[in-house]
């Protein structure tokens, strides 16, 4: 696909480029003729497929500032994607009941899913180009919707994504004052076949487990269709707004 609404010679950054969805964003954008540079940013700096790879710890504000300075040395950013997130891992599993709430696990989930995107936004938003459409998009999740929560469970992940939606809304208001053509939005990718969803894919209806490539194509269409009045909102892969 080719982005239509951003112009040409685009300078693009993907944070979390080592992940299933982040890697698919890098590959899709590197193939887009309107894109000049795709910066693939990951913790180990090994994420390939972009035109340039960078190592950056997304919880180190100085490291993010240095990375943003490097990737904007020749041109401002036009689009940046934050595809960082954690649901399970070392000592972390989505809680089935309040009995499973643990300090270290909940803190880690909030750090990676909420604080890291907020820190990245702190440094990326002022580096977006002026006087043309630009966008910072962070991967959220439908389970972060408070009004849509009828099942309970997964309290750390839900809380981290609900808080991310508040970060997006809050910073979008400040952004509109300084750069009215710039958007900060959230994106729910659907259920995507990656390491993050792998233990939880049973019961996903037929046709609803997306490949990274399919999810990213849909999300790029959704990003392309947004206008400045959409800033501060979380959208699903199909362009539907997700209520807070
Ligand atoms: N897959 C789904 O079904 C699904 C559904 C809803 C929402 N999402 C959201 O989509 C985003 C991408 O998920 P994914 O499915 O692509 O997952 P993934 O393949 O596990 O990738 C997630 C990436 O997040 C970064 N990350 C993970 N743990 C980290 C840590 N402890 N500290 C710093 N960074 C860490 C890593 O990036 P680097 O390797 O580049 O450092 C990792 O590759 C997440 O925000 C997730 O919540 C996914």
**Domain residue extents for the chain:** 10-242
- Residue 186 is predicted with a pLDDT of 98
1 pLDDT above the threshold of 90: no
Q: In this structure, which CATH number among 3.40.1280.10, 3.40.50.720, 3.40.710.10, 3.40.50.300 belongs to the domain 10-242?
A: 3.40.50.720
3-class DSSP string for the chain:
CCCCCCCCCEEEEEECCCCHHHHHHHHHHHCCCCEEEEEEEECCCCCCCCCEEEECCCCCHHHHHHHHHHHCCCCCECEEEECCCCCCECCECCCCCHHHCCHHHHHHHHHHHHHHHHHHHHHHHHHECCCCCEEEEEECCHHHCCCCCCCCCCHHHHHHHHHHHHHHHHHHHHHHHHCCCEEEEEEECCEECCCCCHHHCCCCCCCCEECHHHHHHHHHHHHHHCCHHHCCCEEECCCCEECC
Query: CB of 58 closer than 6 A to ligand 1?
Result: yes
pLDDT confidence of residue 54: 98
Of all residues in the chain, the percent with pLDDT exceeding 70 is 100
pLDDT at position 49 over 90 = no
Q: Phi, psi at residue 138, to the nearest 5°?
A: -115, 140
| Mean pLDDT of the 44-49 span | 92
- The pLDDT, as a whole number, for residue 201 is 96
pLDDT band at 196; cut points 50, 70, 90: very high
| Residue pLDDT, tens place only, 2-26 | 999 999 999 999 999 999 999 999 9
- Model pLDDT, residue 165: 98
Closest CA to 83 of 108, 46, 58, 60: 58
pLDDT band of residue 63 (cuts 50, 70, 90) is very high
Instruction: Please report, rounded to a whole number, the percentage of residues in the chain having pLDDT higher than 90.
Output: 98
Among 49, 196, 213, which is best to mutate for testing ligand 1, by the most ligand atoms less than 8 A from CB? 196
Q: pLDDT band at 48, cuts 50/70/90?
A: confident
Report how far ligand 1's centroid is from the alpha carbon of 177 (Å): 31
> In terms of Cα–Cα distance, which of 104, 69, 103 is closest to 90?
104
pLDDT confidence of residue 31: 96
Q: How far is the CA of 195 from the centre of ligand 1 (A)?
A: 8
* Whether residue 50 has pLDDT greater than 90: no
Whole-number pLDDT of residue 239: 97
**Beta carbon of 21 within 6 Å of any ligand 1 atom:** yes
The alpha carbon of 135 and the centre of ligand 1 are apart by a number of angstroms equal to 20
Residue 200 has pLDDT above 90, yes or no: yes
- What average pLDDT does the segment 55-59 reach? 98
Q: Which residue has the tokens 């035109």?
A: 51
The pLDDT score that the predictor gives to residue 19 is 98
Q: Is residue 19 lining ligand 1, measured as CB closer than 6 Å? A: yes
Of 58, 85, 161, the one to substitute when testing ligand 1's pocket (max ligand atoms within 8 A of C-beta) is 85
Among residues 9, 8, 15, which one has the least CA distance to residue 136?
A: 15
The protein residue whose alpha carbon is closest to atom 9 in ligand 1 is 139
Checking if the pLDDT of 164 tops 90, the result is yes
Query: What are 77's strand-pairing partners?
Result: 128
CB-ligand 1 contact for 17 (6 Å cutoff): yes
Mean pLDDT of the chain: 97
Q: 160 in ligand 1 pocket by Cβ < 6 Å?
A: no
pLDDT at 47 over 90: yes
Atom 37 in ligand 1: which residue has the minimum CA distance? 16
Strands across the sheet with 52-55, in order?
Answer: 52-55, 35-42, 10-15, 79-82, 134-139, 182-188, 234-236, 241-242
Q: Which of 179, 195, 239, 224 is nearest to 4 (CA)?
A: 224
Q: Is the CB of 83 under 6 A from ligand 1?
A: yes
Tokens of 27: 């590959």
Q: Is 187 in the pocket of ligand 1 (CB under 6 A)?
A: no
Cα-to-centroid distance, 3 and ligand 1 (Å) = 24
- Summarize the confidence of residues 215-238 as an average pLDDT: 98
């Amino acid at each position: 696909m080719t982005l239509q609404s951003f112009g040409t010679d685009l300078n693009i950054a993907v944070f979390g480029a080592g992940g299933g969805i982040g890697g698919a964003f890098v590959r899709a954008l590197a193939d887009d003729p309107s894109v000049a540079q795709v910066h693939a940013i990951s913790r180990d700096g090994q994420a390939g497929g972009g035109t340039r790879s960078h190592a950056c710890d997304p919880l180190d504000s100085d490291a993010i500032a240095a990375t943003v300075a490097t990737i904007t040395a020749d041109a401002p950013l036009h689009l940046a994607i934050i595809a960082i997130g954690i649901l399970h891992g070392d000592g972390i599993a989505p809680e089935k009941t309040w009995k499973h709430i643990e300090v270290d696990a909940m803190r880690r989930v909030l750090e990676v899913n909420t604080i890291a995107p907020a820190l990245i936004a702190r440094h990326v938003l002022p580096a977006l180009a002026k006087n043309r459409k630009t966008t910072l998009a962070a991967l959220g999740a439908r389970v972060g919707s408070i009004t849509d929560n009828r099942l309970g469970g997964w309290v750390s992940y839900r809380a981290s994504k609900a808080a991310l939606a508040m970060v997006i809304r809050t910073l979008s208001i400040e952004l509109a004052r300084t750069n009215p053509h710039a958007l900060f939005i959230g994106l729910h990718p659907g259920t995507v076949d990656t390491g993050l969803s792998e233990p939880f894919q049973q019961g996903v209806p037929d046709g609803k487990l997306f490949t990274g490539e399919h999810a990213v194509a849909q999300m790029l269409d959704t990003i392309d269709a947004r206008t400045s009045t959409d800033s501060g909102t979380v959208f699903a892969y199909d362009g539907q707004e997700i209520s807070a």
